[in-house]
């Protein structure tokens, strides 16, 4: 298992649409283990494979609090098959947009289909933080970032900030 570098805005790969996984095999499980290590190290509560530069439809989540044992969940080829009319608002952040948080409105409850770590078909009804986190990570698989759900003014401002930071890092490297 390994900690991998996380792509940071404005990396164009973050806008890539991820490819479905054909079979959950040992290579996919190894990737998921690396994703969990990377997510915990960051630290974060969710990670999509594209965030470490792998355009495959894989998500890992761990919503356990710091003082609780890990509760890792694995989602391969997740898709939302139902979402409630009712909305909820959560302050979201993203490992690919470090130290930036904004309130985002999403459906309060969803139902998702996916393959588990063993490749078995599953379905989950989610609400609260789980519903929000799963929608956030599935967005990543479709090249969508949480800042796409906020006002254009705020989005433009944060993108400019990260472009400037990327240019500064580039010039420091020389």
pLDDT by residue (tens digit) across 20-67? 999 999 999 999 999 999 999 999 999 999 999 999 999 999 999 888
1 domain residue, yes or no: no
Which stretches of the chain are assigned E, i.e. beta strand?
46-48, 58-62, 72-83, 87-94, 97-107, 109-115, 121-127
Give the separation between CA 48 and CA 32, rounded to whole angstroms.
Answer: 10
CATH code of the domain containing 148: 3.90.45.10
Domain annotation covers residue 124: yes
Residue 3 lies in a domain: no
**Stronger pLDDT, 140 or 172, i.e. the higher one:** 140
CA 36 from centroid of its chain's CA atoms: 12
pLDDT value at residue 163: 95
* Catalytic one of 99, 105, 118, 137: 137
Q: Is 136 exposed, middle or buried (0-12, 13-18, 19+ CB in 10 A)?
A: buried
Domain that holds residue 37: 12-173
Is 137 designated active site?
yes
Total tally of structural domains belonging to the chain: 1
């Amino acid at each position: 298992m390994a900690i991998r570098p996380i792509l940071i805005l404005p990396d164009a790969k973050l806008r890539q649409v991820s490819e479905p996984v054909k079979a959950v095999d040992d290579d996919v499980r190894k990737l998921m283990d690396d994703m969990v290590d990377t997510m915990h190290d960051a630290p974060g509560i969710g990670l999509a494979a594209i965030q470490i530069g792998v355009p495959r439809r894989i998500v890992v989540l761990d919503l356990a609090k710091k003082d609780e044992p890990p509760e890792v969940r694995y989602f391969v080829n997740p898709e939302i098959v139902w979402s409630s009319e009712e909305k909820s608002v959560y302050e979201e952040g993203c490992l690919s947009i470090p130290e930036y948080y904004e309130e985002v409105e999403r459906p309060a409850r969803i139902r998702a289909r996916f393959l588990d770590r063993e490749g078995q078909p599953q379905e989950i009804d989610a609400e609260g933080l789980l519903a929000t986190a799963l929608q956030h990570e599935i967005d990543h698989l479709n090249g969508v970032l949480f800042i796409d759900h906020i006002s254009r003014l705020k989005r433009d401002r944060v993108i400019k900030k990260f472009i400037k930071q990327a240019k500064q890092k580039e010039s420091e490297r020389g």
